Structure formats: structure tokens, C-alpha cells
């Protein structure tokens, strides 16, 4: 792979400047209850309150901002199970561009509605039998649309990495160093961006990707040092983390920067959603709650450590929220 594809710290700084007036600088919340209980410093980066209800707006905006002047596209195209779709649709509107989104038929209705409400055109596909990238590339070619990939793209990864820069700044207030950072992972763009930013400043920080146990392609790929695919017949409530395999670019970054993968069960995720709702006053979707679930279930040693979990999204199906909090 061309080394130019791999992002640098300065790409993330540039993304932060591009995004500064458009994103919410989300809080880094110190959890006093859990910190005391676990004899650790536990903090949560609340990207669930970002624009469009997930971190995805960051990468989508940065990609369009960086590409649209060079690319005389007549609109934007993306494939997504919902969060990236909403981020792209919202960002496209800022540039007065129409977004077309290729979405799985079984995406949560809240994500379909959220995407439609932002004026995007939706094309549905079958997650088990059709290839969304092929569908998307064909439509983009026919209609001269700029593709905004969900994770395997330099500008998208740089946009997500701005979360890492915010964490570095926000930790100063607490006078803490990040021993461990736990990041929900599907295709790996979020963790690649955060790891690139954090490792520049804190060489000894350990960064973990966290996945649903039935979709643990990243954990397996890191272990085997080569890309391992998921069995797409498996099922999980973590709809935002069901990528079929790690991204090529993200894996190249993550295989050098990450400590290892951690997996959690759907049941553990439901309990984490309950915890966030009742103890933090936050609504977190299943895919966004996996890092919190990892801490609640002792999936990594936290005693006397400063541990940050990313809460990556809030776009939860109301029926799942009801199940989790009842």
C-alpha cells in the first residue's frame, strides 16, 4: 500500500481546524461512582451527544471539505448502516449537496428516519446477499458522486482522530495520563484516528478495540496479524459494528498502534446501556456502549489506572432501549 495513505498527526490537527465551528466538542466525563468502586480513574468521552448522535459527522465533514474542491462532483454517496449515513447527509447539507445513501434493509428505523429527515436519498440492499460497495460504486460512477467511505479513507480517519486531540486537551484539567483507551470498533476508522493522535503524545498509552463477540474480526485480525473476516450470518444488537472485515488502511494503522482486541456479549451491552442511562443520564446505542461494557465486565485490568471509554453513538432503537432499562 502507498505509504501516503497512512495518516499523520498533522492531518488530524488540520481536520480539527476544518471542523472547529461545525462540531460539538463533546465532554470527557469523570465517573466518580465507578472510579471509586473499581479503584481507578474512569472517564467517558460522550460522542453520543455529537451532531447526528454519533462521532461519524467528524469524518464525513472532513472528507467532503477536503475533497469537494478538487472533485467536481454533483453530489455525495455513502454506504452505511445508519450513523455514517446521518453524518454524511448532515455534512452534505452544509455544502448544499445532495446525499445518496446505500443502507441495509434491516437498519434500525430510527437511523433510516434520521437519514431521510436530512434530505438524503436512500437505496436499500440486503446485508447478507449483496455487496454495498459494488452497488455504491456503480451509482457513484453513473451520477458523478463523491464517495465518502465509512472508515477506509485518510480524511475520514483524520476527522475521527480529532476526538483524540480533544481527549489530550481535556485530560489536562484532571492532571491524568491515559493508561488505557477503549474504542468501539467496526471497520476501525475511529480507533485508527484516536490511536494516531494519542500515541503521538502518550507513547505508553494502551489502546484497545472493543467489539461484539460474534463480530470480533478486528480482535482476531490483530491476533493473527492478517485480516480475518466475520461470519455475516451471525447476529448482534450492535448494528453499528457489523463490518464484514477490517478496513485495509485502518488495519495497517491499527496493527501497529493497538494493544489488542476486547469482546463483549450482547447481554453485557444491554447492561452497559442501562448503566449509562441510570448512572450517567446518557442514552447510548448498543455499538456505542461496548467500551463501557468492557469496563463493567472486567475485560481489562483497571485498578489504579486511568481508563477512557468512548461512548460513540446514541441512535438506539426505542425497543432495545426499553429492554435495556426495564
How does pLDDT run across 78-136, given as a tens digit for each residue? 998 889 999 999 999 999 999 999 999 988 888 999 999 999 999 999 988 899 999 99
* Residue 171, pLDDT score: 97
Cell of 35: 472510579
What does the buried/exposed string (b/e) look like for 265-285 if buried means 16 or more CB atoms within 10 Å of the residue's CB? ebebbbbbbbbbbeebebbbb
- The percentage of residues in the chain with a pLDDT greater than 70, rounded to a whole number, is 98
Q: Which fold has domain 3-54+154-325?
A: Rossmann fold (3.40.50)
Interatomic CA distance for residues 273 and 100, integer angstroms? 31
Give the CATH class of 56-147.
alpha beta
Residues 6 or more apart whose CB falls under 8 angstroms from that of 50 comprise: 23, 24, 26, 57, 58
Please state, rounded to an integer, the average pLDDT across all residues of the chain.
Answer: 94
71 pLDDT above the threshold of 80: no
User: In the predicted model, is pLDDT for residue 48 greater than 90?
Assistant: yes
259, exposed or middle or buried, with CB in 10 Å at 0-12, 13-18, 19+? middle
The answer to whether the CB of 154 falls within 8 A of the CB of 189 is no
- Residue 12 predicted with pLDDT over 90: yes
Q: In the predicted model, is pLDDT for residue 2 greater than 70?
A: no
Q: Which range has the worst mean pLDDT, 66-75, 109-118, 211-220?
A: 66-75
Q: Percentage of residues in the chain with pLDDT exceeding 90?
A: 90
Backbone angles phi, psi at 73, to 5 degrees: -75, 150
3-54+154-325 and 56-147: identical CATH topology? yes
Q: What is the pLDDT of residue 5?
A: 52
| Residue 72 pLDDT level (bands cut at 50, 70, 90) | confident
Q: Where are the domains of the chain?
A: 3-54+154-325, 56-147
Spatial distance between the Cα atoms of 41 and 303, rounded to a whole number of angstroms? 8
Which residue has 455529537 as its cell numbers? 50
How far apart CA 305 and CA 182 sit, in angstroms, is 13
Distance CA 318, CA 231 (A): 27
Q: Is 119 left (phi over 0), alpha (psi -120 to 50) or beta?
A: left
What are the residues facing 104 on neighbouring strands? 125
pLDDT value for 4? 46
- Asked if residue 150 has pLDDT above 80, the reply is yes
Q: Is the pLDDT of residue 1 over 50?
A: no
User: Residue 102: what pLDDT?
Assistant: 95
Amino acid at each position: 500500500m502507498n505509504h501516503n495513505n497512512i495518516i499523520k498527526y498533522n492531518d488530524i490537527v488540520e481536520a480539527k481546524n476544518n471542523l472547529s465551528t461545525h462540531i460539538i466538542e463533546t465532554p470527557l466525563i469523570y465517573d466518580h461512582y465507578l472510579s471509586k468502586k473499581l479503584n481507578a480513574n474512569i472517564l467517558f468521552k460522550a460522542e453520543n451527544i455529537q451532531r447526528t448522535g454519533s462521532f461519524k459527522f467528524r469524518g464525513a465533514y472532513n472528507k467532503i471539505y477536503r475533497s469537494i474542491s478538487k472533485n467536481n462532483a454533483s453530489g455525495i454517496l455513502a454506504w452505511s448502516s445508519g450513523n455514517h449515513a446521518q453524518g454524511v447527509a448532515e455534512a452534505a447539507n452544509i455544502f448544499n449537496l445532495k446525499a445518496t445513501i446505500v443502507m441495509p434493509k434491516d437498519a434500525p428505523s430510527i437511523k433510516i428516519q434520521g437519514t431521510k429527515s436530512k434530505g438524503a436519498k436512500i437505496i436499500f440492499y440486503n446485508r447478507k446477499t449483496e455487496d454495498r460497495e459494488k452497488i455504491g460504486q456503480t451509482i457513484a460512477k453513473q451520477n458523478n458522486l463523491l464517495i465518502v467511505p465509512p472508515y477506509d479513507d485518510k480524511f475520514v480517519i483524520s476527522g475521527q482522530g480529532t476526538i483524540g486531540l480533544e481527549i489530550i486537551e481535556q485530560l489536562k484539567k484532571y492532571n491524568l495520563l491515559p493508561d488505557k483507551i477503549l474504542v468501539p470498533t467496526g471497520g476501525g476508522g475511529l480507533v485508527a484516528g484516536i490511536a494516531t493522535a494519542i500515541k503521538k503524545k502518550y507513547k505508553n498509552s494502551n489502546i484497545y478495540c472493543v467489539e461484539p463477540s460474534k463480530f470480533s474480526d478486528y480482535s482476531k485480525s490483530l491476533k493473527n496479524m492478517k485480516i480475518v473476516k466475520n461470519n455475516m450470518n451471525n447476529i448482534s444488537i450492535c448494528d453499528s459494528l457489523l463490518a464484514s472485515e477490517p478496513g485495509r488502511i485502518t488495519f495497517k494503522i491499527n496493527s501497529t498502534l493497538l494493544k489488542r482486541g476486547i469482546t463483549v456479549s450482547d447481554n453485557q451491552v444491554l447492561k452497559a446501556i442501562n448503566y449509562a442511562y441510570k448512572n450517567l443520564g446518557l442514552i447510548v446505542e448498543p455499538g456505542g456502549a461496548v467500551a463501557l461494557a468492557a469496563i463493567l465486565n472486567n475485560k481489562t485490568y483497571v485498578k489504579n489506572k486511568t481508563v477512557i471509554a468512548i461512548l460513540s453513538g446514541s441512535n438506539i432503537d426505542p425497543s432495545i432501549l426499553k429492554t435495556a432499562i426495564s
